[in-house]
């Protein structure tokens, strides 16, 4: 009978694997609320910026964008850049082209387009 050099699986190895899975689950559970809190902080800053008149509401900006660039909005980000707020809008046009726009968040003026 040929000899096999496969390691044997012991109860200790199985227990160690389950402990590792348990640690991974605990770490994931601790990380998720922190990630969610960061998202909420961004939304709070955006609400405050709208309330103080620093930026236009997203709905107003998207209405203007959709008139000039018909298509489906895929993603929107609000970022601070060079001392001003910028909306970054990614949209898919009817002809299948993907366009990325950078807009001044206070005026909705298009600052840059990338096809």
**54 phi and psi angles, rounded to 5 deg:** -70, -30
Does the pLDDT of residue 22 top 80, yes or no?
no
Q: How far is CA 107 from CA 59, 75, 85, 115, in A?
A: 13, 19, 10, 22
Percent of the chain at pLDDT exceeding 70? 69
Check residue 9 and give left, alpha or beta (phi > 0: left; psi -120 to 50: alpha). Answer: beta
CA torsion sign for 32, 33, 34, 35 is: positive
pLDDT at position 74, please? 95
Q: What is the pLDDT of residue 25?
A: 62
DSSP label of 113: E
pLDDT, tens digit (0-9, with 9 covering 90-100), for 39-78: 556 788 888 999 999 999 999 999 999 999 999 999 999 9
Q: What average pLDDT does range 77-90 have in this prediction?
A: 91
Q: Tell me the whole-structure pTM to 2 decimals.
A: 0.62
Torsion of Cα atoms, 3 then 7 then 10 then 13, to 10°: 180
The H or E element containing residue 79 is strand 71-81
The two three-digit tokens of residue 105, written as one number: 């968040």
Better-scored residue on pLDDT, 4 or 36: 4
């Amino acid at each position: 009978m040929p000899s096999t050099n496969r390691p044997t699986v012991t109860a200790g190895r199985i227990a160690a694997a389950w402990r590792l899975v348990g640690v991974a689950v605990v770490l994931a559970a601790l990380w998720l609320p922190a990630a969610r809190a960061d998202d909420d902080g961004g939304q709070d800053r955006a609400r405050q910026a709208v309330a103080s008149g620093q930026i236009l509401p997203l709905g107003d900006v998207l209405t203007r964008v959709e008139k000039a660039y018909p298509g489906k909005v895929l993603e929107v980000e609000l970022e601070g850049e060079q001392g001003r707020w910028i909306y970054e809008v990614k949209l898919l046009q009817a002809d299948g082209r993907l366009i990325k726009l950078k807009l001044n968040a206070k005026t909705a003026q298009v600052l840059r387009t990338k096809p």
